[in-house]
Amino acid sequence: MPPRRPPKKASRAGGRLSRPTPVPTTPLSSAQPSTYASEAENGGDGGDGGDEVPKIPIDALTLSDTAQPPPKPTRRKQKPFRFLELPSELRIEIYAYHFEETGSVIDLDSDNYKRIHQKLALFRTCRTIYQEASHVFYSTRTFRIFPTTPGRFFKTKKPLLARLKTRQRLSLTSLELRLGPGWNKPPRGWVVNPALGLAECVNVRKLTVFVEFDPSDNFFKSFRKADGFYESFSRELLDQVLAEMPFVQRVHFDAWSSVKKSGAMMATLLEVAKAHGRAICWGPERNWTDHDDDVGAADVESAIALMNSLGLQQHLVY
């Protein structure tokens, strides 16, 4: 049986063209991306002798000039802020504002980690900022010589000054000796020795002696360890502090409202300051002046009697 011949193509002049089989198309949204549409999509049959259909880019079919995506905005690179190029006076003001919430008096306290330690992270920036910022911090605050905050630091053998470095002690300008806590049994760590570092605080110009209460008052009569015990301890402590700091010319005395200048406690401390030749000033809390008249005859007699028992001179300053 002879092989079957393929049917002849119909001519354009006399024959009838058969319609091409439709090719299923997919929507443009789900179609695979391609650069040009296929010949079947453009109506061509791909056979010989047919008119060549130009290839049309799909982008031209789907996107118009108004549908072009907007160009991305160009971002300008911000120049870094050069802090060290500011004037030194302005940098000092910024340091002072940074340490504003740390308080004016620094003492050993368990709350220091939250209140102060995070602020001191500024010291680790660079050497220049460390030198400037540390000097501002240590020179603008009052540091207590011995801790008075109740807790684990109250009886420590290493007070705050002993924990500081020599460079930090050189920046100090104000110290405070607070008397009253431990009046019945002073902590063993309240000792003036070379490890305390008072001799290195050569830039201190203000020494404040703050008296919280006077144990010689009759209110403490049945509670105190012995008559004149705490007054004698305070006298020796202040005497040793002033001996280590001959560069301090003035002593600022301050107290709570219950303390009298004519009491045995204040009389003892004033005598020590005068014996070292230091000028006496008054703090803002008690508002004492050089001409206070809160001295009564009974107060003078009790103060003189107590001073005699301590072996002090019978001299009152009021």
Cα–Cα distance measured from residue 154 to residue 205, given in angstroms and rounded to the nearest whole number: 26
Contact (CB, 8 A) for 145 and 201: no
> Whose CA is closest to 207, among 160, 254, 268?
254
Q: pLDDT tens digit string along 291-307?
A: 865 544 444 455 445 55
What pLDDT, on the 0 to 100 scale, is given for residue 286? 92
What pLDDT, on the 0 to 100 scale, is given for residue 6? 58
Cα–Cα distance measured from residue 229 to residue 46, given in angstroms and rounded to the nearest whole number: 119
pLDDT band at 78 (very low <50, low <70, confident <90, very high): confident
Q: Which residue has the higher pLDDT, 244 or 67?
A: 244
Q: pLDDT tens digit string along 183-224?
A: 888 999 999 999 999 999 999 999 999 999 888 887 777 777
Cα–Cα distance measured from residue 242 to residue 253, given in angstroms and rounded to the nearest whole number: 14
% of the chain exceeding 90 in pLDDT: 52
> Whose CA is closest to 176, among 206, 156, 152?
206
Task: Return the biggest CA–CA distance within the chain.
Answer: 155
Average pLDDT value over all residues in the chain? 80
What pLDDT, on the 0 to 100 scale, is given for residue 288? 92
Q: What is the pTM of this model?
A: 0.68
Summarize the confidence of residues 265-289 as an average pLDDT: 94
> Whose CA is closest to 144, among 96, 193, 213, 196?
196
What pLDDT, on the 0 to 100 scale, is given for residue 65? 53
For residues 182-208, b (16+ Cβ closer than 10 Å) or e, as one string?
Answer: bbeebbebbebeeebbbebbeebebbb
What pLDDT, on the 0 to 100 scale, is given for residue 2? 57
* Least reliable range by pLDDT among 21-30, 123-132, 236-245, 284-293: 21-30
What pLDDT, on the 0 to 100 scale, is given for residue 160? 94
Burial classification of residue 4, based on how many CB atoms lie within 10 Å of its CB (0-12 exposed, 13-18 middle, 19 or more buried): exposed
Residues 6 or more apart in contact with residue 201 via CB below 8 angstroms: 161, 169, 170, 172, 175, 245
Q: pLDDT tens digit string along 227-252?
A: 889 999 999 999 999 999 999 999 99
Q: Which residue has the higher pLDDT, 111 or 307?
A: 111
Instruction: Tell me the torsion sign for CA atoms 215, 220, 221, 222.
Output: negative
What pLDDT, on the 0 to 100 scale, is given for residue 314? 37
Q: pLDDT tens digit string along 139-183?
A: 999 999 999 988 889 999 999 999 999 999 999 999 999 999 988
Does the pLDDT value for residue 50 go beyond 70? no
Does the pLDDT value for residue 310 go beyond 60? no
What pLDDT, on the 0 to 100 scale, is given for residue 308? 56
